[in-house]
């Protein structure tokens, strides 16, 4: 149960953002635009639909994907783990594709730098999702775990983006950030919500691999 505490805490932290994203998607589907928002433009049905789909799929992914990390769930109900895994991979692909269509059609509020950062984020999320399910299908559990951790880290990125802003605004009142997300803080932030976390994870995985190597050598001998 102790090992379920962190994933459950992550669900609790992510839930309000998931509900917010879902609410925006539902409003968009009903033809309602959020007040003062640049997100949904009249006369742009493709990018509006892509963004609404992306928010709904992203909401499900962000709020529920931490459940995949609970060891007891995986052990006791492997079928549930597999079923939820397929749903999360589908949600990740829909969120990423919707975001990419929106970037291609309308561009982000922050211009080319943010376009590039978010497009890279979408591609990495899609690749990690596909690699995680591919390794699971091949019954390669070591590779599956590595890709699943990359996938989880990226899936949390969208929430981390908002948490970074919340913390920064509390600490500095928003220094270096503009409404159009073109300030120095914004320029760093559009990459900093996922790249440093991925780098830390890679470092941890490679240390773990190095640590495991002598043991497997010893057991082989």
Q: Where on the chain is the footprint of ligand HEM (CB under 6 A)? A: 21, 24, 39, 54-55, 58-59, 61-62, 95-96, 99-100, 102-103, 108-109, 118, 121-122, 125, 155, 158
- Quick one: 55 or 132, whose CB is closer to ligand HEM? 55
Cβ proximity of 82 and 99 under 8 Å: no
Q: Smallest gap, in angstroms, from Cβ of residue 38 to ligand HEM?
A: 6
- Which of 70/114 has CB closer to ligand HEM? 114
Q: How far is the CB of 154 from ligand HEM (least distance, A)?
A: 8
Min dist CB 29 to ligand HEM, Å, is 14
Closer CB to ligand HEM, residue 70 or residue 101?
A: 101
Please say which residue, 61 or 70, places its beta carbon nearer to ligand HEM: 61
Q: Are 175 and 139 in contact (CB under 8 A)?
A: no
- Matching residue, tokens 């102790």: 2
In terms of CB distance, is 17 or 135 closer to ligand HEM?
A: 17
Smallest distance from the beta carbon of 2 to ligand HEM, in angstroms? 27
Rounded Cα–Cα distance for residues 24 and 28 (Å): 6
The residue among 148, 51, 58, 133 whose CA lies nearest residue 95 is: 58
Give me the least distance between CB of 61 and ligand HEM, in Å please: 5
Residues 6+ apart with CB under 8 A from 13: 159
Nearer to ligand HEM, 179 or 208 (CB): 179
Residues 11 and 155 sit within 8 Å (Cβ to Cβ): no
Distance CA 88, CA 21 (A): 16
Q: Report yes or no: 184 and 178 within 8 Å, Cβ to Cβ.
A: no
Q: Write down the residue that tokens 């002598």 correspond to.
A: 214
CB-CB contact of 153 with 198 (8 Å) = yes
């Amino acid at each position: 149960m102790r090992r379920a505490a962190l994933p459950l805490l992550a669900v609790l932290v992510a839930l309000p953002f998931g509900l917010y994203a879902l609410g925006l998607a539902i409003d968009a589907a009903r033809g309602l635009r959020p007040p003062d928002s640049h997100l949904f433009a009249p006369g742009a049905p493709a990018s509006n639909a892509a963004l609404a789909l992306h928010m709904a799929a992203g909401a499900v992914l962000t709020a529920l994907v931490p459940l995949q990390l609970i060891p007891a769930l995986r052990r006791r109900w492997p079928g549930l783990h597999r079923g939820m895994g397929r749903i999360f991979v589908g949600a990740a692909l829909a969120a990423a594709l919707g975001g990419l269509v929106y970037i291609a059609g309308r561009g982000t509020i922050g211009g080319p730098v943010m376009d590039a950062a978010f497009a890279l984020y979408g591609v990495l999320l899609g690749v990690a999702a596909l690699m995680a399910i591919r390794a699971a299908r091949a019954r390669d559990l070591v590779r599956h775990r590595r890709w699943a951790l990359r996938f989880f880290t990226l899936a949390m990125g969208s929430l981390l983006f908002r948490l970074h802003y919340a913390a920064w605004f509390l600490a500095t009142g928003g220094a270096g950030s503009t409404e159009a997300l073109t300030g120095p803080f914004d320029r760093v932030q559009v990459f900093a919500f996922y790249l440093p976390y991925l780098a830390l994870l890679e470092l941890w995985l490679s240390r773990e691999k190095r640590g495991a190597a002598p043991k497997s050598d010893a057991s082989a001998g």
